[in-house]
Structure 1
Amino acid sequence: MTQVVATTTGLYPLPDWAKDELANLKGHQRSDLIDGSEGEAIVSTYEAAREDVIEAQQSAGLDRIVEGQLRWDDMLAHPLSVHDAVETRGIVRYYDNNNFYREPVVEDELTFDGDIGAELDAAAAFVDDGLQAVLPGPYSLADLATDEFYGDEAAFLDAIGDFLAEEAGAFPEVETLFLLEPSLVTEPPADGGEHASEAIDTVASAIDADVVVQTYWGALEEKVYAYLLDADIDAVGHDLVTDHEGAITNVNEYGTTDDVALGLVDGQNTLVETPAEIRERIEWFLAETTNDFETVYATPNTELLYLPDNKFEAKLDALAAATTEAIDQ
C-alpha cells in the first residue's frame, strides 16, 4: 500500500480580510514588514493571518501544515531580501509570469539570520504535529539573486547552500521540508546539475526531517534529474500539471527516490480540480511507473500565492478530500 500525504508548496495568498485591513493602514506597503518599519497593527494583522491560513489547512484535513509564508513579498527570494548583508534593488520579473520581486544583491557574508525559523516557531504554537517547513532550494535562490561579494558562481552557490543549511538547522521540529527548485527546470545548470545537487545535499543534511525537492514549470533535463538523485533527499517532486509525460520518462529511465511528490493541482489556475480528478492523476502516475513508492506527497504544482482566497481554500479542500485513503499498487 502506498501512503498518500496531502500537503502544499506554501507561499499562500493573503486572506481577503487581511488585504483590506492592511490597505486601510495609511501609507502601508507589504514590504514595510520585511524592511523592519512595520508598526504593531501590521505585525498583529500578519500574525492573525497566519493563524487563519493554518486553520484553513487544518479544517481541510491536510496531512502537513505550512506556516503560509504570507510575508514573502519577494517570493522565493525572501530569505535573502530580509538579510542584513543584502541590498534589495530594482523590480525583476519572477520567472515567466506577471509577478515581480525586488532583486536581492548580496554585498557581504551570508551569516545566520533566523527569520524563517522564527516564523516556524510562531506556527508551531498552533500545530500539534505534521508541521512542514518550506525553503527555496539553493540553486533557485542563487539564480534569483545577484552576487557582489563572493565573486564566483560556484562559491556563491556554496554560500547559499551553507546559509540555508544553517537556517534549517535552527528550525523547530518539523515533519517535512520542501525545497522549491523551479530554476532547475527554467534555467538548467551549465554543469548538468552536479554542483546544485551538492548544495541541495548540504541543506538536506542539516535537518532531521523528510526532505522533498519540488521542481515545477516543466520536467527536469535528464542529466539534471540524474544528478539530483545523488543528493540525500527523500523525494523528488514532479509537476504533472505542466509536463506529465516528461516526469514519467525521467522516473522510468533513471529511477527515483523511495517516495515521490506529485504536483497534481494547478497553483496558477482558478479552475478547481475535483477530488476524483486528483485521485485519478495519482493512480495514473503509479500505473505508468515501475516503482513501488512508500509515500506519495500530493501537492499543488507551484506556490499558491497566485490564487484568489476563495479558490485557494477550495483547492486545499479538494486536495485533502482526494487523499484520505492509501492506494494499493
Structure 2
Amino acid sequence: MTEYVSTTPGLFPLPDWAKDDLSDLKGHQKHDLIRGDESDDITAVYDEARETVLDAQLEAGLDLISEGQLRWDDMLAHPLAVNDAVDTQGIVRYYDNNNFYRDPVVTDELGFSGDVANELEKTVAYTDEAVQAVLPGPYTLADLATDEYYGDEEAFLAAIGEYLAGEVEEFPAHETLFLLEPSLVENAPEDGIHERASEALDTVANATDADVIVQPFYGSLEEKVYAHLLDADIDAVGFDFVTEQDGSLYNIQEYGATDDIALGLLNGQNTLLEEPEAIRDRAEWVFDKLPVSDFDTAYLTTNTETFYLPYSTFEAKLEALADAASLAEVTHA
C-alpha cells in the first residue's frame, strides 16, 4: 500500500515582519551579504524567521519539515554564492520570471562551505520531527553558474556534483534530500550530457543515507532526459502536474518510474488555494492514468518552490498539503 507523505521543495517566502526587518538591516549592511557572513542582527532575524516557518509546518501537520532556505537570496544559486571560490557578479533573471539572482562565477577549485549544513543543524536542534534537506541538483546549479576555472562542461558538472556531495556529507541526520532540478526542463542537457547529469546526481545521492528525491519543475522532462534520470541512484522522481500533465504522464507510461514518486499537485507560484479533497482527487487521477500505481511512497508537494507566494497563502497551502495526505491515507486504508 502506498504511503502518502506531505512535504515541500523548500525555499519558502519570508514572514512579512522579517521582510521589513531585513530590508532595513540589509540597506545599511550590504557588504555583509557577499559571502553569507551576515551581521549578528541579520543572523538573529533569520534565526527567528526560521523558527517561524518551522512552527508553521509543525502546526500544519506536514510529515517532512524543511529548513525553509530563507537566507537564499540567490535562490538555487545560493550554495555557490557563499563559496570562497566563487565571485558573485551581475544580476541574472531566474528562469522566465521576475526574480533575479547574482551570477555565481566559479574562479577557483570549489571547496567545502558548510553553509547549508549549518542551517540544517539549527533545524534539527529545533524539532524532533523528520527533517528534509534541500539542495539544487548538480545540473541546475551548474546551469545557473558561470565557469571560469574548470573549462569544460563535463568537468564542471562533475565538480559541482563533488562539491554538493561534500556538503551533504556534513549534513546532520535527515530523512530525505530533495534535489531541485528545474534546469533539466528549462535548459535540457544536450546529447552526451544526459549521462553526465545522471552521474553527478549519483555522486550527490551516494553522499547520504537518506531517501533522495529529484524534483524537476516548470514542465515535463524530454524523453531522453527522463530515461537517463531513471538510471541515477535515486529513490524518487518528482513531476510538475500543475504545469504539464500530459508530458509527465507520458514519461511514466512510456518509461516507468522509481519505486517512490513525488507529485507536484499544488501551484507554488499562484495564490489560488486548493482544497485538500481536490489535491487528493488529483493524486487519484494521476494514479488512475498509470499502468502501475503501487508506489512505496507518494510525496505530495507543491510543483515549485513557494517563495513567490504571500506568506499567509503559503501557510494555507501547507495546511492543505498535510490534510490531503491524511485524506489519501484514509482512502487507501
Q: TM-score range by the shorter chain?
A: over 0.9
Which residue of 311, 314, 318 corresponds with 2:313? 311
What is the deviation of 1:24? 3.4
Measured in 2, the distance between the counterparts of 1:252 and 1:28 equals 54
Matched with 1:108 is 108
Aligned residue-pair number: 329
**Does structure 1 residue 121 correspond to structure 2 residue 125?**
no
Percent sequence identity over matched residues?
64
Cα deviation code 1:185-235 (max 9, x no counterpart) = 111111261110110011001101000000101100001000000001000
Cα deviation code 1:167-189 (max 9, x no counterpart) = 01110000000000000011111
Q: Which runs of 5+ in 1 are unaligned?
A: none
Measured in 1, the distance between the counterparts of 2:43 and 2:82 equals 15
Matched with 1:246 is 247
TM normalised by structure 1 equals: 0.97
What is the deviation of 1:290? 1.8
Q: How does 1:8-87 map to 2 (within 5 A)?
A: 8-25=8-25, 27-28=27-28, 32-33=32-33, 35-36=35-36, 38-87=38-87
Measured in 1, the distance between the counterparts of 2:135 and 2:252 equals 24
What is the deviation of 1:53? 0.3
Measured in 1, the distance between the counterparts of 2:14 and 2:235 equals 30
Letter of the aligned partner of 2:322 in structure 1?
A
The answer to whether the Cα contact below 8 Å between 1:74 and 1:81 also exists between their aligned partners in 2 is yes
- Residue 270 of structure 1 aligns to a residue whose secondary structure is coil
Q: How does 1:166-205 map to 2 (within 5 A)?
A: 166-191=166-191, 193-205=194-206
Measured in 2, the distance between the counterparts of 1:238 and 1:63 equals 19
What is the deviation of 1:132? 0.2
The answer to whether the Cα contact below 8 Å between 2:237 and 2:258 also exists between their aligned partners in 1 is yes
TM normalised by structure 2 equals: 0.96
What is the deviation of 1:36? 4.6
What is the deviation of 1:33? 4.0
Measured in 1, the distance between the counterparts of 2:61 and 2:118 equals 25
Letter of the aligned partner of 1:13 in structure 2?
P
The answer to whether the Cα contact below 8 Å between 2:226 and 2:251 also exists between their aligned partners in 1 is yes
Matched with 2:214 is 213
After superposition, the CA RMSD in angstroms is 1.5
Measured in 2, the distance between the counterparts of 1:2 and 1:113 equals 38
Cα deviation code 1:87-130 (max 9, x no counterpart) = 00000000011100000000000011111000100110112131
The answer to whether the Cα contact below 8 Å between 1:30 and 1:71 also exists between their aligned partners in 2 is no
What is the deviation of 1:38? 2.7
